[in-house]
């Protein structure tokens, strides 16, 4: 069996514009949620989000090129550059054996808004010639491949909030099954826009709390919706012998992946959690381990009443008696929910949790819920040795995805 390791990571998140800054914020239990500044929220029901802060795109990308891309693409390019630099990988040779899979749940929503408004005012024949390439969801993956000269498979997974995890899992399989040696993978999202927030508000999916510390509160009995986040996470996955041959540093090893569908409802998960439970079991089967070997789960944990209750039930079904001892937290309490980028950011966090022996907290937890009664690592992170950890993502359409990361030995 070909083994797959993580040799590079890059991130732009509401709690840090690099992996190191994000991880320091995770360890400190920092909340990245605050009042929305991207547009006027005076007369809007939803007023808070997890925005990326203090990031000047022109420090990273030429101003002329920035005009040709949406913000979700820019996030992805910045995170990918960090991941590639971090890994020390060169794509000058054997680039046909390297690929890219980057998810985006929605794509260039901000660009669509701007150009539609322009078209309505001036006529649609006068909108930007870059409207289509700026807004389509696959362009983050395409631009990363172009910038780094990667000639292998280039794909974009669009499975709503499961997309980032699917991108990592699909890349893991692509290397494991012998189709590539290196994959850049992850997710990116920029949906803190008027229509993005408005659409989820109409769905009654978003928290309307104006207190940033009581808005994204996964597993808390007073939770009332998720908080939108934005940013990107990119990982470099590499076949083990390929990594060893170039003396690459190794963060951890991906050993299991599960993906399935509830086939139940366009937005609601199966109430008994059975679909997500089977997905976790698929990942454990591929990893060749029992549930008792997994010390930590980075939960999907969106802070919606249905998700958190259903995910708790799913873990109990999948883990059995081991659910009584497994630690589970939702780092969305700090970052908000980055949709198609969430799974990628959380894969990075899960990998660092394993590498450094630190379990992140579910912050701002106050009111226990008897229906979410697992060990959710409330408010304070823990220094604990971890051999195996799992990261879960659950998306609209019934998409479920789980990956398992092992401490590299």
CA angle, 214 then 218 then 222, to 5°: 55
Q: Which domains does the chain have, with CATH numbers?
A: 4-245 (3.40.47.10), 255-406 (3.40.47.10)
Other C-beta atoms lying within 10 Å of the C-beta of residue 247: 7
Q: What is the mean pLDDT of residues 217-246?
A: 98
Q: What is the mean pLDDT of residues 249-276?
A: 96
Q: Is the Cβ–Cβ distance between 228 and 72 less than 8 Å?
A: no
Chain mean pLDDT for the chain: 97
Of the chain, the percentage scoring pLDDT greater than 90 comes to 99
pLDDT band at 163 (very low <50, low <70, confident <90, very high): very high
Q: What is the mean pLDDT of residues 67-85?
A: 98
- Closest to 381 (Cα-Cα) out of 14, 31, 16, 28: 28
Q: How far is CA 253 from CA 82, 86, 168, 284, in A?
A: 20, 16, 12, 14
Tens of pLDDT along 359-374?
Answer: 999 999 999 999 999 9
Query: Within the chain, how many helices (H) and strands (E) appear?
Result: 13, 14
Q: What is the mean pLDDT of residues 74-84?
A: 98
* 3-state DSSP assignment of residue 35: strand
pLDDT band at 94 (very low <50, low <70, confident <90, very high): confident
Of the candidates 154, 300, 372, 399, the residue annotated as catalytic is 300
Tens of pLDDT along 11-61?
Answer: 999 999 999 999 999 999 999 999 999 999 999 999 999 999 999 999 999
Q: What is the mean pLDDT of residues 337-343?
A: 98
pLDDT band at 192 (very low <50, low <70, confident <90, very high): very high
Mark whether 151 is an active-site residue. no
- Closest to 154 (Cα-Cα) out of 134, 169, 174: 174
Residue-wise burial string across 32-54, b where 16 or more C-beta atoms lie within 10 A, e elsewhere: bbeebebeebeeeebbbbbbbee
pLDDT at 93 over 90: no
> What is the pTM for the complete model shown?
0.98
* 3-state DSSP assignment of residue 113: helix
- pLDDT given for residue 92 in this prediction: 83
Of the candidates 148, 242, 337, 399, the residue annotated as catalytic is 337
- pLDDT given for residue 1 in this prediction: 82
pLDDT at 205 over 90: yes
Quote the tokens at residue 39. 């547009």
Of the candidates 161, 185, 279, 372, the residue annotated as catalytic is 161
- Closest to 35 (Cα-Cα) out of 197, 148, 180: 197
pLDDT at 72 over 90: yes
Of the chain, the percentage scoring pLDDT greater than 70 comes to 100
Compute the distance between CA of residue 73 and CA of residue 198 in angstroms, rounded to an integer.
22
């Amino acid at each position: 069996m070909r083994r797959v390791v993580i040799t590079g990571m890059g991130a732009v998140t509401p709690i840090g514009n690099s992996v190191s800054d994000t991880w320091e914020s995770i360890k400190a239990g920092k909340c990245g949620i605050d009042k929305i500044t991207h547009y006027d929220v005076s007369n809007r029901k939803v007023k808070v989000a997890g925005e990326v802060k203090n990031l000047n795109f022109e420090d990273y990308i030429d101003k002329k090129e920035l005009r040709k891309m949406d913000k979700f693409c820019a996030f992805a390019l910045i995170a990918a550059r960090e991941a590639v630099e971090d890994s020390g990988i060169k794509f000058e040779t054997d680039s046909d054996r390297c690929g890219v899979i980057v998810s985006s749940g929605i794509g260039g929503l901000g660009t669509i808004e701007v150009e539609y408004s322009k078209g309505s005012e001036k006529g649609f024949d006068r909108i930007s010639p870059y409207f289509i390439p700026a807004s389509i969801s696959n362009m983050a993956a395409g631009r990363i491949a172009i910038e780094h000269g990667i000639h292998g498979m280039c794909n974009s997974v669009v499975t709503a909030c499961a997309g980032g995890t699917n991108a990592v899992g699909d890349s893991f399989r692509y290397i494991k099954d012998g189709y590539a040696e290196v994959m850049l993978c992850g997710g990116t999202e920029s949906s803190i826009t008027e229509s993005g927030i408005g659409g989820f508000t109409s769905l009654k999916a978003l928290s309307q709390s104006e207190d940033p510390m009581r808005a994204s509160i996964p597993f808390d009995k007073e939770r009332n919706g998720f908080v939108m986040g934005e940013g990107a996470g990119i990982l470099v996955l590499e076949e083990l012998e390929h990594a060893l041959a170039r003396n690459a540093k190794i963060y951890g090893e991906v050993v299991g992946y599960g993906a399935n569908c509830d086939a139940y409802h366009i937005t609601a998960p199966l109430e008994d959690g059975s679909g997500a439970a089977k997905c976790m079991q698929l990942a454990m089967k591929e990893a060749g381990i029992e549930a008792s070997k997994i010390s930590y789960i980075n939960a999907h944990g969106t802070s919606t009443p249905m998700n958190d209750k259903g995910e708790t039930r799913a873990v109990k079904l999948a883990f059995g008696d081991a659910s009584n001892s497994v630690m589970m937290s939702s780092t969305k309490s700090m970052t908000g929910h980055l949709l198609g980028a969430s799974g990628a950011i959380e894969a990075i966090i899960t990998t660092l949790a394993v590498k450094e022996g630190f379990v992140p907290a579910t912050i701002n937890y106050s009111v226990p819920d008897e229906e979410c009664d697992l060990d959710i690592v409330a408010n304070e992170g823990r220094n604990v040795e971890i051999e195996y950890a799992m990261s879960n993502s659950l998306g609209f359409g019934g998409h479920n995805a789980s990956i398992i990361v092992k401490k590299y030995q």
